[in-house]
Chain A
């Protein structure tokens, strides 16, 4: 069988320098969802849900960046824009140096989408229940490689099923016949089928039981090695994030609070929000007794986020400046980015 690369017709990314440039750079990304008020004659926008409100981050080739934050902070929206499922309100996403929201030909568009894939939390709702597994996993080939022979598509499907730990006969089954963990394997197979370079995994194990979660985490680890994949791994469980990530980005109310190598997040925690988040995790060891920082109140609404630093109303270090001036994400130490006026480092 020829390699998939030989099907490639456009060469968009020849200017990308792997050694010095990240594979993905997200630059001041904003995604606002308008809230409109309907009257009989017209509707007008009365507010905006600022789901993503100035996110900066980057992914290096071959690494796993963990993206962690509480529900509603904008993780999924960031990922959906980054794989071009949605348009940004402002800001840019660069993939191998190319701004993916610049006008481009359909061929170029497909070339970008081929290399950027996403896996969702609930594999069931992301898999059409009326289609057989074979067709579900074949679909990316139909879209991206319409000229490929049916037999080749089919054998590629079987190959990928084997890679994710499923059997040939599973190809003739329907999604409802699979358990949660197996469905997640299907979701992974589908995203992997056309050999993307980057996969954004949106809470891929959050809905699974721990014994099954471990299987999927190990599978992802093996696949990453084998295919030299770059992962952005979204989760709200910091133990999972610590386990899978090379670097971590901590998100709060549409912004990145801290981004650094995983070890440093735990050893040299810089942002007061990260400190609070780490302190809140219940530890499965009855002998650990901790002085816990318990945050007051709830995460504010993204419709009307606090002025200045979005964390200031709940922050134990906040001073007057925090409510007035929005701190920028700055590289305080090599590879350690923090947006805080009074960081702990």
Chain B
């Protein structure tokens, strides 16, 4: 029997929030997987369910939120069935998470050493002294210079980029198998983002980590992941190898998203736009959730949820009309303009 390649397999997840104004259908039948050792991207605009996906996986939803259906299979076990105590062991030790804002995940009143050694000692079953050594070693690994000295500093003594490195170190020190990084560089400036991404990529490769990288930055996914899942309105609309999807998107939303970003390669005075706004998930649009904004929508789109079509090497698209559409990014034009830039230089 072939060994299972999947470390994480989300099957048909429904996560709802119960609020005064109604039920928020935040995840509406989300399915995707992450393979062992593979960096996977989760992409979408704000409010499409990226963070809720991460929180559902780790079972750290707020009180008013609940995963009401589906399976989250991690290393063959459905996390939704695990007793709380066992789930607590999964968090950190098996699946580590880093968040967008490094300040809120570090406690300002404790030294870095205190915030690292305790969890390390607990999860790696070692004493405080060994834990401290591990902490220093991982801080060093992520590029905190003089880690031995700096480990007794407080969070505010570090810059945003350094704090994000500390969080990465803290996550990696537990030797997890899967790292969930939720917008890890969104709050950082571009030169600092480049530093942090470099470290994440290096660590991912060196440690053979599986990674779920959540971001709205298409550049970041393109450079960091091998496979990508595109989210819209609480659903996965398109999945597949990153390179293929970026060059040849099949879902009208994916296509429109790519065309609406200004690019360093294209020269255009007007951008393609997607009319309207991202949907709110209380009473979301019926049928295909993208239909009110979609150029190609027909009557069926407003009524029937599009099935998922599988094709090629692991590609999936949820659109009624994807086979009839001829969407393609004008790569020729991009190549031309890039050549022109090179020649002039």
**Which of A's residues lie within 8 Å of B, judged by CB?**
70-71, 179, 181, 209-215, 217-218, 221, 236-240, 242-244, 266-268, 276-277, 279-287, 292, 294-295, 298-299
Asked whether A239 lies within 8 Å of B262 as measured between CB atoms, the reply is: yes
Tell me whether B242 is interfacial, beta carbon within 8 Å. yes
Decide if B159 touches A284 in the complex (CB within 8 Å).
Answer: no
Q: Which of B189, B257, B263 has the most CB of A within 10 A?
A: B189
> In the docked arrangement, what's the CA distance between A87 and B107, Å?
39
Residue in B192, B222, B270 whose CB lies within 8 Å of A298: B192
Q: For the complex formed, measure the closest distance between the CB of B124 and the CB atoms of chain A, giving whole angstroms.
A: 31
Tell me how far the C-beta of A13 lies from the nearest C-beta in chain B, rounded to whole angstroms.
Answer: 30
Write the chain B residue with the least CB distance to A298.
Answer: B159
Q: Which residue of A is nearest B269, CB measured? A: A221
Closest to A72 in B: B189
- B260 CB-CB contact with A under 8 Å: yes
Q: How far is the CA of A181 from the CA of B273 in the complex (A)?
A: 13
Q: In the complex the two chains form, what is the Cα distance from A243 to B260 in whole Å?
A: 12
Please measure, in the bound complex, the distance between the C-alpha atom of A345 and the C-alpha atom of B341, giving whole angstroms. Answer: 16
Question: Separation in Å of the B176 CB from the closest CB of chain A?
Answer: 24
Digitize B219-234: 1 where CB-to-A-CB distance is under 8 Å, 0 elsewhere: 1111110000000000
**B270 proximity list for chain A (CB < 8 A):** 218, 221
Please measure, in the bound complex, the distance between the C-alpha atom of A42 and the C-alpha atom of B285, giving whole angstroms: 62
Report if B24 contacts A (CB, 8 A).
Answer: no
In the complex the two chains form, what is the Cα distance from A179 to B220 in whole Å?
26
Contact: A285 with B222, CB < 8 Å? yes
Query: By the criterion CB–CB under 8 Å, are B341 and A285 in contact?
Result: no
CB distance from B279 to the nearest CB of A (A): 11
The reply on B218 being an interface residue by CB < 8 A is yes
A210 touches B194 (CB 8 A): no
A119–chain B nearest beta-carbon distance, Å: 18
| Among candidates A236, A240, A286, residue contacting B243 with C-beta atoms closer than 8 Å | A286
Size bin of chain B's contact surface: 35 or more
Question: Is B264 in contact with A286, judged by CB distance below 8 angstroms?
Answer: no
Contacts of A287 in B (CB 8 A): 243, 247
Q: Nearest CB to that of B274 among chain A residues?
A: A211
Q: Establish whether residues A210 and B45, one from each chain, have CB atoms under 8 Å apart when the complex forms.
A: yes
Output the nearest chain B residue to A68 by Cβ-Cβ distance: B190
Given contacts A210-B257, A294-B194, A299-B189, contact A181 B223 (CB under 8 A): no
Flag if B260 contacts A286 (CB, 8 Å).
no
Let me know if A286 and B242 touch, CB within 8 A.
Answer: yes
In the complex, which of the residues B191, B218, B258 contacts A277, with contact meaning CB atoms closer than 8 Å?
B191
Residues of A within 8 A of B222 (CB): 282-286
Determine whether the beta carbon of A214 is less than 8 Å from that of B260.
yes
Q: Is the interface of B mostly helix, strand, loop or mixed?
A: helix
Docked-complex contact A282 and B274, CB < 8 angstroms: no
A242 to chain B, nearest CB (A): 6
Query: In the complex, which of the residues B217, B272, B278 contacts A214, with contact meaning CB atoms closer than 8 Å?
Result: B272
Name B275's closest neighbour in chain A (CB-CB).
A215
Given known pairs A214-B272, A286-B223, the reply for A295 and B264 (CB within 8 Å) is no
Knowing that A221-B269, A284-B261 touch, tell me 19 more A-B residue pairs with CB under 8 angstroms: A71-B189, A179-B277, A209-B278, A214-B261, A217-B271, A218-B270, A218-B271, A238-B264, A242-B262, A243-B263, A266-B264, A266-B341, A280-B194, A282-B193, A282-B223, A284-B246, A286-B247, A287-B243, A294-B198
B133 lies within 8 A of chain A by Cβ: no
**Residue on A with the closest CB to B340?**
A267
Q: Which residue of A lies closest to B143 (CB)?
A: A296
Contacting pair B190 A210 (CB below 8 A): no
Contact of A181 among B191, B217, B221, B277 (CB under 8 A): B277
- Which of B45, B161, B224, B268: most chain A Cβ within 10 A? B45
Contact of B191 among A214, A217, A276 (CB under 8 A): A276
Chain B residues, Cβ within 8 Å of A214: 260-262, 271-274
Residue of A nearest to B192 (CB): A298
Task: Say yes or no: B264 contacts A281, CB within 8 Å.
Answer: yes
Closest to A264 in B: B344
Chain B residues with CB under 8 A of A280:
190-191, 193-194
Residues of chain B with a CB closer than 8 A to A299's CB = 189
- A218–B272 Cα gap in the complex (Å)? 9
Q: Are A292 and B261 in contact (CB under 8 A)?
A: no
Q: Could you tell me if A70 and B257 are in contact, using CB atoms closer than 8 angstroms?
A: no
Complex Cα gap A287–B244 (Å): 10
Rounded to whole angstroms, the CA-CA distance of A240 and B216 in the bound complex is 15
Contacts of A276 in B (CB 8 A): 191
| A238 (CB) vs chain B CBs: closest residue | B264
B220 interface neighbour in A210, A238, A266, A282, Cβ under 8 Å:
A282
- A282 CA to B216 CA in the complex, in Å? 12
From A215, A217, A295, A298, B262 is in contact (CB under 8 Å) with A217
A282 contacts across to B, CB distance below 8 A: 193-194, 197, 217, 219-220, 222-224
At the interface, yes or no: B281 with Cβ under 8 Å from chain A?
no
- Is B84 close to A, CB under 8 A? no
Contact of A243 with B216 in the complex, beta carbons under 8 Å:
no
Give min CB distance, A294 to chain B, whole Å: 5
Is B162 an interface residue when CB atoms closer than 8 A count as contact? yes
Judge if B2 is at the interface, Cβ distance under 8 Å.
Answer: no
Task: Tell me, rounded to whole Å, the shortest Cβ–Cβ distance linking B234 to chain A.
Answer: 15
Complex CA distance for A93 and B223, rounded to whole angstroms: 42
Which of B192, B197, B216, B263 contacts A209, CB < 8 Å? Answer: B216
Q: Which residue of A lies closest to B343 (CB)?
A: A267
Most chain B beta carbons < 10 A, residue from A239, A240, A279, A284: A284
B345 pairs with A243, CB closer than 8 A:
no
Inter-chain contacts of A240 with B (CB < 8 A): 262
Most buried by A among B217, B218, B277: B277
B265 at the interface (CB under 8 A from A): yes
Contact present for A284 and B262 (CB under 8 Å): no
Considering the complex, give the chain A residue whose CB is closest to the CB of B271: A214
| Bound-complex Cα distance A294 to B46 (A) | 29
Contacts of A212 in B (CB 8 A): 277-278
Known contacts A283-B222, A286-B222, A286-B243; is A209 also within 8 Å of B45 by CB? yes
B195 on interface, CB distance cutoff 8 Å: yes
Which residues of chain B from 292 to 345 have any CB-CB distance to chain A below 8 Å in the complex? 334, 341, 344-345
* Cα A237 to Cα B159 with chains together (Å): 21
Bound CA span A84–B222, Å: 42
